[in-house]
Amino acid sequence: MNDQRWDAVVVGAGPAGSIAALVLARGGARVALVDKASFPRDKACGDLIGPRGVQVLAELGVHVPDAGQGADLLAIGPSGRACRLPAFPGHTYASHGVVVPRLAFDHALREAAITAGAAPVRARITAVDASADGTVRTVIASDGRRLATDVVIGADGALSPVARLTGMLDPAAALWGFAIRAYLPAEVPLPLLVLLDASPWRIYPGYGWLFPGADGQANVGIGVGMGTSRRQVSLRDDLARFCAMLARRGDLGPGVRPGAVTGGWLRMGGSGTPPAAANVLLAGDAAGLINPLQGEGIAPAMVSARLAAEAVLAHPANPGARYTDALAGLFGRYLPGAAALQSALLSRPRATSAGVRLLTAPVVRRLVAGTWSLYWNGLVEGAQPRPSTWTAGLVQRLAGHLAERPGHVHGG
């Protein structure tokens, strides 16, 4: 391993890393897929993979053992009323999502990458050797192993050691979130996203969810937006209160309690890092690509990783510029505005509580459902023409203006 030179070293074998390694290996590159964990490994997640992710899997011909398909979502407001957000097929995404426990999902993707020819390496990357212009020539593991490479893809999650070691991460410019989840027995006909109040008429700075799962084990969780702070938070009491609320609504049976709770950080809105510098490309959470409005990160991870790998195959000497452009084309009109909108909403808890009550009120909810669904889920780009595509595009443009005002978190 020490003597070998790689065309690309991919750090992290989550959805981003495995898709990047798979595309690179199929393109003929010599690629190492490095992760500190032994697989199969679990990852705190709601396990819901959105329509853009389903499309990537279909286009790459990767099969995953899904526990069911989900199309529409139920968004529940603080009044307890629900708005059913319809799923539409897009030109560039599927008409539905899938549910796959991450233990199985990440394992299946990593196996597909290895089958395609990627070399699995179990190592924790703790250092890099870079030249003065920032070009990384070698990534170095905690046990001293050195992997020489032409290109590095950092797919190592929201806290991205690669971004930190290469000086690409500015934590104070990042939009952070934290979320926890647990499994519990429940039959869930439609995924629920619950925008609840923290106290009467003051919105909770995040949302709770109850998603269907494998073998009757639903996924319940709660997450909060933290702005630019990454202080420790405990959400266990909030999760317990949320479960009690779900039980009162009849979504959970009496006496049903969550199992083991795990959590993780989210970096959202394309914030905290540039997507690329010198020969280092960041994909997925490492590039902060989580949707700031509903916390989806798996599909952006896979989509960005594929773009990164394609840029490396097309322009091995300078993939960064091409990757940055491709990412901006797909997410650039959505993420900065969604990040600014999230900050604006969380800084006005009373107005936001009132606004969500209005959106979920009878009549109004029927009028806004399509627009809400397309905009909130980041599905305007690649949508098919319909009235809600137009209105969601308008919301996206308005939110984009918010992002141009001074004082909000900027992406890289």
Ligand X SMILES: Cc1cc2nc3c(=O)[nH]c(=O)nc-3n(C[C@H](O)[C@H](O)[C@H](O)COP(=O)(O)OP(=O)(O)OC[C@H]3O[C@@H](n4cnc5c(N)ncnc54)[C@H](O)[C@@H]3O)c2cc1C
Work out how close the CB of 348 gets to ligand X at its nearest, in angstroms, rounded to a whole number. 25
Identified binder of ligand X from the candidate list 27, 30, 36, 117, rule CB under 6 A: 36
Q: What share of residues in the chain are helix, strand, coil (percent, to 5)?
A: 35, 25, 40
Residues 181, 219 contacting (CB under 8 angstroms): yes
Q: Which of residues 268-287 bind ligand X (CB under 6 A)?
A: 284-286
Considering only CA atoms, which of 215, 214, 216 is closest in space to residue 99?
214
Amino acid type, 269: G
DSSP 157-183: -TT-HHHHHTT---GGG-EEEEEEEEE
- Residue 83: CB minimum distance to ligand X, A: 19
Our finding on whether 82 is near ligand X (CB under 6 A) is no
Q: Three-state SS string across 293-344, please?
A: CCCCCHHHHHHHHHHHHHHHHHCCCCHHHHHHHHHHHHHCCCHHHHHHHHHH
* Residue closer to ligand X (CB basis): 239 or 353: 239
Least Å from the CB of residue 179 to ligand X: 4
Binding map of ligand X across residues 331-350, x = CB under 6 A, - = no contact: --------------------
Joined together, the tokens standing for residue 153 give 């893809």
377 exposure class (CB count in 10 Å sphere: 0-12, 13-18, 19+):
buried
CB of 157 closer than 8 Å to CB of 285: yes
Q: Which of 197, 296, 310, 381 binds ligand X (CB under 6 A)?
A: 296
Among 6, 7, 8, 15, contact with ligand X (rule: CB under 6 A): 15
- Binder of ligand X out of 32, 180, 184, 311 (CB under 6 A): 180
Nearer to ligand X, 45 or 341 (CB): 45
Measured from the CB of residue 90, what is the shortest distance to ligand X in angstroms?
16
Footprint (CB under 6 A) of ligand X, residues 135-174: 155-157, 161
In the structure encoding, which two tokens stand for residue 286, read together? 């490492």
Answer for which of 24, 48, 74, 392 binds ligand X (CB under 6 A) is 48
Contact 88, 74 (CB under 8 A): no
**Which of 124, 137, 164, 236 touches ligand X by CB under 6 A?**
124
Scanning 28-36, 60-68, 166-174, 379-387 for contacts with ligand X by CB under 6 A, the matching segment is: 28-36
Contacting residues toward ligand X, per CB under 6 A: 11-17, 34-37, 43-50, 124-125, 155-157, 161, 179-181, 221, 263-264, 266, 284-286, 290, 295-299, 301
